[in-house]
């Protein structure tokens, strides 16, 4: 995959109503995006597939929808107020701000490209040591030693390295003086931790069990790039699985395999996925792995699976003064459960799905060939499942097509189109990934049959109208993804 493909995917996403820059008429808001008429459908379908796989298909996992605002102490307890920051450095000439580790990582990639593998490995190692020790001076020294220049000004006139907290804050309360500083949550996970006992007691849940939720998260990312890969407002789909201490590694392996299988069920080439084990672990984790996908700009994290020990519940127990424990009938003791977390970014999953689906193909057109652009999305995820197309606008064909549309739209997102030639209409639906086009022609009036055209093979078949629902169901139902 290449940069060229990435450019094509981003412009396709805009041209066909998948993703728009936020506030575009005001020149946009950096690293914030809106999902258009097709994007919102694809995003809803991805969310639904995740929810079904995690909540509906697991008897011991339940859902939650916690608020974005939480008590400020939550973020003190979780470590985000003191520790959720990135090491930043400014170039004094361009006045641009960079993440120090990102500048060094780019240099590592340059060395690797030049075939200097040993130097690249040594630099990466030195950076990891500096990050682990929170040694900001050492990070700056590496930037100077490597003579890393600002990509904008081209100079090496750098400030000191400083830590910048990534949380957005605002004021809550009617009178400015009395208002409390509250944060926009940087992860959905803490809403699960603080509701752990509420759910466990009211749902009579027994360990091991999980709580899943989907929702917005906010991070003041300094370097926001690669389209919807790194955003300031994004959506996470997270699940915290509460287990007995000592069993966490078994569950970690279980969720690692289960989540990879889920990704592969969407049909991408397995060679485009890999696990990346964390060498440098967060202070709360005793194991962590990323699921990475081969984006056009290289392998990048889509999902993290973390063994978070009892860190979060213990912290909230201490800061709130409320016991967050369960009773173990075997040993007759109370304990704080350990947690395995699966955390996937919905926007990254969306980007992965678009990159994976985008194709340009040479196809026959009469006695010549032409290029068609097709989004080969898994049919179950397609924004529009069925396009209903009367061949002409007269002779009662639109009325017949409407009858079919009215019946199918109860179960599936359908689209009725009568403008332009049938070929043009097929191409438009190829470009947004519609798996099935139903054409109603004059024969349909006399024998109650229609033509179904399949997006990927472009094969057409004649079928009775009464069979349509069954045929569509077999192709687009999420049931098939679970078989
Ligand atoms: N609760 C754990 C947690 O938040 P994370 O690795 O920081 O872990 C989890 O985030 C996932 O959220 C990532 O794998 C990624 O898919 C997504 N994510 C994180 N930051 C993001 C951003 N700025 N823009 C889009 N997605 C992001």
Q: Which tokens in the block code for residue 83?
A: 């520790």
The CA-atom distances, in angstroms, between 401 and each of 213, 256, 412, 416, 419 are 40, 47, 15, 8, 13
Distance, CA of 374 to CA of 428 (rounded, Å): 9
Ligand 1 atom showing the smallest separation from residue 238 Cα:
1
DSSP per position, 248-282: HHHHHHHHHHHHHHHHHTTT--GGGEEEEE-SS--
**Residue 231 pLDDT more than 70?**
yes
**Interatomic CA distance for residues 260 and 275, integer angstroms:** 9
Beta-bridged to residue 365, according to DSSP, are 368
Mean pLDDT score across all residues of the chain:
95
* Positive or negative: CA dihedral 451, 460, 373, 294: positive
User: Which is more confidently placed, 41 or 282?
Assistant: 41
**How confident is the model over 43-62, as a mean pLDDT?**
98
Who lines ligand 1 at CB under 6 A? 187, 189, 219, 221, 230-231, 234, 236, 238, 301-304, 341, 343-345, 347-348
pLDDT attached to residue 206: 95
Residue 320 CA: distances (Å) to CA of 71, 82, 157, 188, 313: 11, 18, 46, 19, 10
Confidence of residue 400 (pLDDT cuts 50, 70, 90): very high
Distance CA 64, CA 209 (A): 13
Q: What is the dihedral of CA 409, 413, 414, 415, to 10 degrees?
A: 130
Rounded to 5°, the CA angle 136-139-141 comes to 110
pLDDT range class, residue 15, cuts 50, 70, 90: very high
Mutation test residue for ligand 1: of 70, 75, 234, 352, the one with most atoms within 8 Å of CB: 234
**CA 306 to centroid of ligand 1, rounded, Å:** 12
Give the pLDDT mean for 117-144: 93
Which token pair is 365? 């057109």
Mind listing the domains of the chain with CATH numbers?
A: 2-68+186-354 (3.30.930.10), 85-162 (3.30.40.230), 379-482 (3.40.50.800)
**Quick one: pLDDT at residue 180?**
85
Look at the chain and count its residues: 483
- Which residue's structure tokens are 């361009």? 94
- Name which residue sits closest to atom 20 of ligand 1, judged by CA: 230
Kindly give, in sequence order, each residue whose CB lies less than 8 Å from that of residue 438, ignoring residues fewer than 6 positions away: 386, 387, 388, 389, 401, 404, 450, 451, 452, 453, 468
Q: Is the pLDDT of residue 100 over 70?
A: yes
Between 331 and 341, whose confidence is greater? 341
pLDDT at res. 402? 97
Q: Residue 348 pLDDT more than 60?
A: yes
For residue 366, what pLDDT is reported? Answer: 84
Nearest ligand 1 atom to the CA of 306 is 2
pLDDT band with cut points at 50, 70 and 90 for residue 347: very high
Q: 344 alpha carbon to ligand 1 midpoint, in Å?
A: 7
**CA atoms of 166 and 222, how far apart (whole Å):** 8
Residue pLDDT, tens place only, 31-43 = 999 999 999 999 9
Inform me whether the pLDDT recorded for 2 exceeds 90.
no
* Kind of pairing between the strands at 233-243 and 209-218: antiparallel
Can you give the pLDDT at residue 133?
Answer: 86
Query: Closest residue (by CA) to atom 4 of ligand 1?
Result: 187
- Among all chains, which residue has been given the structure tokens 């890393």? 148
* pLDDT reading at 424 higher than 70: yes
Ligand 1 pocket test: pick from 236, 259, 288 the residue with the most ligand atoms within 8 Å of its Cβ.
Answer: 236
- How many other CB atoms are there within 10 angstroms of residue 90's CB atom? 17
| Ligand 1 pocket, mutate which of 227, 285, 343 (most atoms under 8 A from CB) | 343
Q: What's the angle, vertex CA 33, arms to CA 32 and CA 38, rounded to 5?
A: 170
**pLDDT exceeds 90 at position 173:** no
Q: Which atom number of ligand 1 is nearest to the Cα of residue 343?
A: 9
Question: Which atom in ligand 1 lies closest to the alpha carbon of residue 346?
Answer: 16
pLDDT of residue 177: 65
Measured from the Cβ of residue 70, the count of other Cβ atoms closer than 10 Å reads 17
Q: What CA–CA distance (Å, rounded) separates 93 from 365?
A: 56
- pLDDT value of position 179: 67
* Distance from Cα 193 to the centre of ligand 1, integer Å: 17
Ligand 1 center–CA 345 separation, angstroms: 5
Ligand 1: nearest atom to the Cα of 290: 14
Q: Answer yes or no: are the C-beta atoms of 352 and 5 closer than 8 Å.
A: no
Interval between CA 462 and ligand 1 midpoint (Å): 47
pLDDT above 90: percentage of residues in the chain: 90
- What is the C-alpha separation between 3 and 10, in angstroms, rounded? 11
Q: Whose CA is nearest to atom 25 of ligand 1?
A: 230
Judged by average pLDDT, the poorest of 2-6, 196-200, 455-459 is 2-6
Tell me the CA distances in angstroms from 364 to 221, 369, 372, 423, one per residue in order. 46, 4, 10, 12
Atom of ligand 1 nearest to the CA of 187: 4
Cα(147) to centroid of ligand 1, in Å? Answer: 31
- Quick one: tokens of 401? 């097509």
Span from the CA of 391 to the centroid of ligand 1 (angstroms): 47
% of the chain beyond a pLDDT of 70: 98
Q: How far is the CA of 431 from the centre of ligand 1 (A)?
A: 29
- Residues 6+ away with beta carbon under 8 Å from 130: 136, 138, 139, 142
Predicted local distance difference test score (pLDDT) of residue 223: 74
Q: Which residues pair with 106 in a beta bridge?
A: none
Instruction: In whole angstroms, give the CA distance from residue 102 to residue 143.
Output: 10
Strand ranges inside 298-357, DSSP E: 298-309, 326-328, 333-335, 338-345
Q: Worst-scoring range by mean pLDDT, 78-87, 308-317, 384-393, 412-421?
A: 78-87
The reported pLDDT for the residue numbered 178 is 64
């Amino acid at each position: 995959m290449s940069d060229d493909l990435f450019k094509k995917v981003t412009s396709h996403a805009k041209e066909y109503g998948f993703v728009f820059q936020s506030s575009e008429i005001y020149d946009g808001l950096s690293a914030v995006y809106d999902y258009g008429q097709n994007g919102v459908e694809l995003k809803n379908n991805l969310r639904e597939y995740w929810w079904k796989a995690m909540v509906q298909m697991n008897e011991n996992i339940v859902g939650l929808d916690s608020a974005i605002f939480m008590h400020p102490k939550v973020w003190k307890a979780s470590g985000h107020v003191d520790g959720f920051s990135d090491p930043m450095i400014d170039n004094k000439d361009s006045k641009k701000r960079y993440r120090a580790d990102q500048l060094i990582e780019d240099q590592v990639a340059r060395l690797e490209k030049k075939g200097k593998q040993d130097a690249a490995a040594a630099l990466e190692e030195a950076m990891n040591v500096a990050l682990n020790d929170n040694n900001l001076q050492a990070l700056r020294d590496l930037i100077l030693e490597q003579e890393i220049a600002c990509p904008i000004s081209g100079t090496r006139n750098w400030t000191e390295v400083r830590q910048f907290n990534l949380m957005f804050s605002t004021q809550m309360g009617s009178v400015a003086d009395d208002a409390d500083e509250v944060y926009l949550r940087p992860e959905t996970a803490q809403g699960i931790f603080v509701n752990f006992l509420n759910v466990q007691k009211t749902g009579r849940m027994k360990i091991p069990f999980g709580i899943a939720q989907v929702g917005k998260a906010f991070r003041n990312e300094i370097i926001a790039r690669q389209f919807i890969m790194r955003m300031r407002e994004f959506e996470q789909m997270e699940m915290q699985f509460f287990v007995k201490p000592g069993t966490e590694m078994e569950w970690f392996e279980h969720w690692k395999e289960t989540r990879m299988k889920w990704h592969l069920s969407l049909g991408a080439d397995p060679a485009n996925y890999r696990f990346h084990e964390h060498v440098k672990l967060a202070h709360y984790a005793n194991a962590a792995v990323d699921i990475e996908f081969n984006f056009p700009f290289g392998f990048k994290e889509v999902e993290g699976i973390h063994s978070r020990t009892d860190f979060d519940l213990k912290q909230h127990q201490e800061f709130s003064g409320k016991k967050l424990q369960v009773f173990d009938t075997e040993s007759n003791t109370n304990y704080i459960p350990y947690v395995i977390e699966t955390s996937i970014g919905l926007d990254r999953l969306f980007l992965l799905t678009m990159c994976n689906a985008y194709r340009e193909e040479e196809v026959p057109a009469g006695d010549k060939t032409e290029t068609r652009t097709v989004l080969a999305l898994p049919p179950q995820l397609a924004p529009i499942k069925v396009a209903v197309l009367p061949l002409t606008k007269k002779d009662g064909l639109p009325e017949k097509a409407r009858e079919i549309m009215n019946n199918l739209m109860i179960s599936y997102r359908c689209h009725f189109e009568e403008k332009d030639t049938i070929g043009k209409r097929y191409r438009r639906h190829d470009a947004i990934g519609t798996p099935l086009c139903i054409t109603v022609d004059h024969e349909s009036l006399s024998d109650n049959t229609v033509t179904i055209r399949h997006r990927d093979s472009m094969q057409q078949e004649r079928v009775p109208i009464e069979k349509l629902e069954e045929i569509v169901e077999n192709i687009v139902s999420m049931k098939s993804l679970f078989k």
